[in-house]
Amino acid sequence: MGFLENKKALIIGVASNRSIAWGVAKAMHAQGAELAFTYQNDRLQSRVEKLAKECGSDIVLPCDVATDENISDLFKQLGTHWSEFDILVHSVAFAPKEELEGDFVDNTTREGSKLAHDISSYSLTALAKAARPMMSGHPSAIISLTYLGAMKAMPNYNVMGLAKASLEANTRYMAYALGPDNIRVNCISAGPIRTLAAAGIGDFRKMLDHVEQNAPLRKNVSIDEVGNVAAFLCSDLASGITGEITYVDAGFNIVGMTGY
């Protein structure tokens, strides 16, 4: 019997079978969770439906997290399938491609900054606000995905680093606000993984090579490794953990100097 047996999980952020959200979905399915999925737009619908089927799910609903109307419709529609649910996975981020390269000060704009913070951080609060009535009063958990660029200056990550710093603070504020409702909120800081979103970051290959050469485990992590930790953090095995940022990055974040 899996450790997510009898849990229902809503997965937001599957764009392909390389998505981190797909690694999370597979891990949660393997541990016995029942799944529902969202897709951002019509272009992704059939792909997400196909992947959902692989996890035995036929609940696949539209949601662009940029609008409150979409978010409210999502939970109305979800409510026709489930009266309550236990796990919300937020694996979504966006910043304009031209702001994910080059000089941070020269390339960051007011508009790009607003957009990055709105989609990559505020959307977590907006989703929790709408999901709260369906998640309160029984052991529930919310998980999102961040990156080391929130804590340290990185080449090219630029405005997304600021948005991820906001997401990490959001994790703590939400954990504090939702704890009394028995909803835990955690965040995984994943190492670089080649996905559609990562393709938008300048010199991404160099980041992968650098981690492989310098992380304590001398490798990059997979979506399955991130998925397994997400499954644990959203399970009752982690009932004492909330407001935490957990690194799944082959140890890269602990290194101060390499070459010894």
Catalytically active residues are 147, 157
DSSP state of 100: S
d(CA 123, CA 57): 24
Query: Is 73 an interacting residue with respect to ligand 0WD (CB under 6 A)?
Result: no
Query: Is 161 an interacting residue with respect to ligand 0WD (CB under 6 A)?
Result: no
d(CA 179, CA 161): 27
State both tokens at 225: 């490794």
Query: Is 66 an interacting residue with respect to ligand 0WD (CB under 6 A)?
Result: yes
* Cβ proximity of 146 and 186 under 8 Å: no
Nearer to ligand 0WD, 119 or 154 (CB): 119
d(CA 96, CA 81): 35
Query: Is 193 an interacting residue with respect to ligand 0WD (CB under 6 A)?
Result: yes
- Cβ 180 to ligand 0WD, closest distance in Å? 27
- Of these, 145, 185, 211, 234, which contacts ligand 0WD (CB under 6 A)? 145
d(CA 132, CA 186): 16
Nearest to 163 by CA among 136, 138, 144: 144
- Of these, 92, 142, 229, 231, which contacts ligand 0WD (CB under 6 A)? 92
- Of these, 192, 211, 230, 245, which contacts ligand 0WD (CB under 6 A)? 192
* Cβ proximity of 117 and 93 under 8 Å: no
- For the chain, the C-alpha Rg in angstroms (whole number) is 18
| Binding piece for ligand 0WD, criterion CB under 6 A, among 80-88, 126-134, 145-153, 231-239 | 145-153
Question: Strands, DSSP E only, in 79-139?
Answer: 87-90
- Of these, 4, 9, 13, 59, which contacts ligand 0WD (CB under 6 A)? 13
Query: Is 252 an interacting residue with respect to ligand 0WD (CB under 6 A)?
Result: no
Query: Is 196 an interacting residue with respect to ligand 0WD (CB under 6 A)?
Result: yes
| Binding piece for ligand 0WD, criterion CB under 6 A, among 60-68, 129-137, 150-158, 176-184 | 60-68
Nearest to 115 by CA among 158, 54, 75: 158
Dihedral sign computed on CA atoms, order 125, 153, 243, 185: positive
Query: Is 10 an interacting residue with respect to ligand 0WD (CB under 6 A)?
Result: no
- Cβ 215 to ligand 0WD, closest distance in Å? 13
- State the residues that interact with ligand 0WD by CB under 6 A: 13, 15-16, 18-21, 40, 44, 63-66, 91-94, 119, 145-147, 190, 192-193, 195-198
